[in-house]
């Protein structure tokens, strides 16, 4: 763990906010160049090789504004290499490069359990979520959820006295739904609000997958309370499983449509949750946070893909995600050179590097 | 499969109704002596060697009465070696030696699915059981249950149009609870009523484990709909698992005490059941009926345990069931001789031979 200087943290933010730089590209660039500064210096050249000139980096004014807005809110910018960055989130492959946190940031150092579920939840489901959060909180778990209506709000309510973290899709000041303004205020006061987005940003649909990934990423276990089939909570549960987290689901009657999703999770292997004991038992299990298996290559080795390789890699891409290892095998070239070519293509906006070692043409 | 003569079937009944002869002892005697007749002839001697004189065999008058009562009801006595004996039940180790069946006996040749559950069931649970039975019936499954209040009755109702089997603890004419007289009448008319007990017998508590064993024994799958912890339905589910049958349970809210038992079954590995599809999918699985693994020894080999071995075996027994194989190992003697000694001791009422290869001192 390193502690960044203000200038270094600003570099991290600048690289994270650069066009076409998602968490995977950020991670690859940092692996290759060692610091955000050196990656920023290399960016124009890399993008040009990938086929793009005039890559848009955030201006000094934009960075000043984001840092100023955050400071005005009393929020703190934390980079994934820093000690204050939540450990479980740092174990993601790749972690979000930076997060904003508002409120009691020290809560992020404790173990989290996510409680998520239907926005249109039954009164019984909400009561259950509140009780579960309260019991788990008393056992020392920080309750993580997404500030949504229904189960999320009930989970935060139950977790408030002992500690709760709300993860937002928009900025840390983007209160949605508006009727949760009071709840939001109490969470800022005695809990913590976290977001990968810049302050002032209003959440749009594509922010929610990233928010869901942080909800599960902050947690050692995710409990789904009431969920219809094909609902967002099930996506969070899938992400959690991919991240090596425990997934639990609360069963319900087959006659209740709000139990279809949770029953289906149990059918697929999620642990059955009837109360805090089940969650605590799951956490006792042998499963630890997975060591991230990154596409590592020693930075400084500066693999330089040639045009032929770059063209070959580009030709292998399709809108259906394929694994980066598969592309390495198909080319027969050295992995570092292929990964470098993929980073260049991603900076040029010709492909997207996805978590889990996948890549798709854009 | 053999077809017994009337005299032979009477011998089977006589041996089955002899004091201290349960299904395991019956099975062992038949293995050893080849026919019920020869076993009956040998009984007094065997019991005496086990330490008991004056073993009570049923009188001719008693047998005449049972056979007459059954005939008067239009019921049929079926021995486990006969073709009309349900195949799945015959695969038990050991099967009940004889059953009485009243109604459409041909239903016993078809595949069965048991639906069981709480007597004090919710309206929703009963509706679910009725619908499940109806759908499974339309898929060709015979619905097996125990004529009890609640889930059992609903399952029979749903299964009546396509075929349902009620298994009773008392005789095939023992209608319990009394308010199910009408349902019972319709089952006799278009379904089938089965019992291991003699006609005219009123069920007592100790008859229900035997009834439960037949419910699961007749079925390839057992579905539990609503059950509290430590309820009879869970015992049926455990028996079913031991018999190699599929066990399914209908999930419910943790706030509903009637779901505690079914949720617990799912936690222990029962398949989650939300409808007929889940049951049919479970039946498609690779699991077939287990070949019974009996303590077989060629009959006629007439192993004769000596007094020393008999004393040694008796000394190894305790009220806590132990496996018969363990006793064989402890004595170091030949298995057939040890099994023969155990049969003698059981006839003398000094031990009980239990299904699953276990034995307990009485």
Contact B110, B228 (CB under 8 A): no
Residues of B in contact with A263 (CB under 8 A): 251, 272, 274
Q: What is the pLDDT of residue A54?
A: 85
Q: What is the pLDDT of residue A198?
A: 97
Radius of gyration for chain A, computed over Cα atoms and rounded to the nearest angstrom: 21
Answer whether B273 touches A (CB < 8 Å).
yes
Answer whether A263 touches B (CB < 8 Å).
yes
Q: What is the pLDDT of residue A296?
A: 36
Question: Who among B124, B254, B272 is closest to A263 (CB)?
Answer: B272
Residues of B in contact with A274 (CB under 8 A): 254, 260, 263
Q: What is the pLDDT of residue A237?
A: 94
What value, to the nearest 5°, has the Cα angle with vertex B115 and ends B112 and B117? Answer: 155
Kindly give, in sequence order, each residue whose CB lies less than 8 Å from that of residue B315, ignoring residues fewer than 6 positions away. Answer: none
Q: Which two tokens stand for residue A223?
A: 């409990």
Which of A4-18, A253-267, B300-314 bottoms out in mean pLDDT, i.e. has the lowest?
A: B300-314
Cis peptide before B94 (omega within 30 of 0): yes
User: What element of type H or E holds B340?
Assistant: helix B335-347
Rounded to two decimals, the pTM is: 0.83
3-state secondary structure of B215: helix
Number of A/B CB contacts below 8 angstroms equals 58
Using CA atoms, how far apart are residues A260 and A252, in angstroms rounded to an integer?
A: 8
Answer whether B274 touches A (CB < 8 Å).
yes
Query: Which residue ranges in chain B fall short of pLDDT 70?
Result: 1, 286-303
Dihedral of CA atoms A171, A173, A176, A181 in degrees, nearest 10, equals 170
Using CA atoms, how far apart are residues B121 and B228, in angstroms rounded to an integer?
A: 10
Name the band, by pLDDT with cuts 50, 70 and 90, for residue A302. low
Kindly give, in sequence order, each residue whose CB lies less than 8 Å from that of residue A106, ignoring residues fewer than 6 positions away. Answer: none
Interface test with A, best of B272, B275, B279 (most A CBs within 10 A): B272
Distance in Å, alpha carbon of B223 to nearest chain A alpha carbon: 14
A82-92 confidence digits (pLDDT tens): 999 999 999 99
Q: Which two tokens stand for residue A62?
A: 């934009």
Contact A132, A276 (CB under 8 A): yes
Chain A, window 237-256: residues with a beta carbon less than 8 angstroms from a chain B beta carbon: 250-256
Distance in Å, alpha carbon of B221 to nearest chain A alpha carbon: 17
| ipTM above threshold 0.85 | no
Strand B246-249 relative to strand B271-272, pairing:
parallel
Q: What is the pLDDT of residue B290?
A: 47
Using CA atoms, how far apart are residues A61 and A56, in angstroms rounded to an integer?
A: 14
Using CA atoms, how far apart are residues B49 and B230, in angstroms rounded to an integer?
A: 40
Residues of A in contact with B263 (CB under 8 A): 251, 272, 274
Binning chain B into helix, strand and coil, the percentages to the nearest 5 are: 45, 15, 40
**Between residues B25 and A302, the one the model is more confident about:** B25
Q: What is the pLDDT of residue B302?
A: 56
User: What element of type H or E holds A361?
Assistant: strand A358-361
Q: Which two tokens stand for residue B181?
A: 């007289």
Contact B134, B126 (CB under 8 A): no
Dihedral of alpha carbons B43, B45, B49, B52, sign: positive
- CB-based contact A254 B266, cutoff 8 Å: no
Distance in Å, alpha carbon of B275 to nearest chain A alpha carbon: 8
Largest pairwise CA distance in chain A:
62
A170-215 confidence digits (pLDDT tens): 999 999 999 999 999 999 999 999 999 999 999 998 899 899 999 9
Dihedral of alpha carbons A324, A326, A328, A331, sign: negative
Question: Who among A253, A260, A267 is closest to B253 (CB)?
Answer: A253
Question: Who among A124, A266, A271 is closest to B251 (CB)?
Answer: A266
3-state secondary structure of B249: strand
Residues of A in contact with B227 (CB under 8 A): none
Residues of B in contact with A259 (CB under 8 A): 251, 253
A112-148 confidence digits (pLDDT tens): 999 999 999 999 999 999 999 999 999 999 999 999 9
Strand A164-168 relative to strand B271-272, pairing:
unpaired
Averaged pLDDT score across all residues of chain A: 92
Place of tokens 């930076």: A98
Using CA atoms, how far apart are residues B92 and B111, in angstroms rounded to an integer?
A: 15
If you ran DSSP here, which 8-state letter would residue A166 be given? E
**Between residues A319 and B59, the one the model is more confident about:** B59
3-state secondary structure of B112: strand
Q: What is the pLDDT of residue B286?
A: 60
Q: What is the pLDDT of residue B241?
A: 93
Q: Residue B260: closest CA among chain A residues belongs to which residue? A: A274
- CB-based contact A251 B251, cutoff 8 Å: yes
Q: Residue A258: closest CA among chain B residues belongs to which residue? A: B253
Q: What is the pLDDT of residue A297?
A: 36
Q: What is the pLDDT of residue B197?
A: 96
What value, to the nearest 5°, has the Cα angle with vertex A152 and ends A151 and A154? Answer: 65
Contact B224, B248 (CB under 8 A): yes
Residues of B in contact with A252 (CB under 8 A): 251-253
B106 exposed, middle or buried (CB, 10 Å; 0-12, 13-18, 19+)? exposed
A232-242 vs A260-267: helix axis angle to the nearest 10? 20
């Amino acid at each position: 763990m390193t502690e960044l200087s203000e200038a270094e943290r600003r570099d991290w933010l600048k690289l994270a906010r650069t066009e076409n730089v998602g968490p995977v590209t950020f991670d690859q660039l940092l692996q290759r160049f060692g610091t955000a500064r050196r990656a920023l210096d290399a960016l124009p050249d890399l993008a040009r090789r990938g086929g793009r000139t005039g890559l848009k980096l955030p201006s000094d004014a934009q960075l000043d504004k984001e840092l100023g807005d955050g400071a005005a809110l009393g929020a703190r910018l934390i980079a994934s290499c820093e000690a204050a960055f939540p450990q479980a989130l740092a174990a993601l492959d790749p972690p979000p490069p930076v997060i904003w946190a508002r409120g009691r940031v020290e809560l992020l150092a404790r173990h989290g359990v996510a409680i998520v579920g239907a926005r249109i939840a039954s009164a019984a489901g909400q009561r259950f979520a509140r009780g579960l959060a309260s019991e788990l909180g008393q056992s020392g778990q920080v309750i993580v959820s997404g500030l949504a209506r229904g189960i999320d709000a009930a989970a935060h309510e139950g977790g408030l006295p002992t500690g709760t973290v709300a993860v937002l899709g928009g900025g840390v000041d983007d209160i949605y739904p508006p009727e949760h303004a009071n709840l939001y205020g109490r969470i800022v006061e005695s809990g913590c609000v976290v977001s990968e987005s810049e302050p002032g940003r209003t959440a749009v649909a594509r922010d929610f997958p990233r928010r869901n990934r942080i909800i599960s990423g902050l947690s050692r276990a995710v409990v789904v309370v009431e969920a219809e089939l094909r609902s967002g909570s099930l996506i969070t549960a899938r992400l959690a499983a991919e991240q090596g987290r425990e997934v639990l689901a609360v069963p319900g009657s087959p006659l209740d449509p709000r139990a279809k999703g949770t029953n289906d999770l149990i059918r697929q292997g999620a642990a059955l949750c009837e109360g805090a004991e089940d969650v605590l038992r799951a956490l006792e299990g042998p499963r630890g946070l997975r060591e991230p298996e990154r596409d590592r290559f020693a930075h400084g080795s500066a693999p330089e893909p040639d045009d032929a390789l770059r063209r070959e890699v580009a030709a292998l891409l399709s809108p259906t995600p394929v694994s980066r290892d598969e592309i390495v095998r198909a080319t027969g070239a050295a992995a570092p050179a292929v990964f470098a070519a993929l980073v260049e293509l991603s900076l040029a906006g010709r492909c997207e590097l996805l978590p889990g070692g996948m890549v798709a043409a854009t």
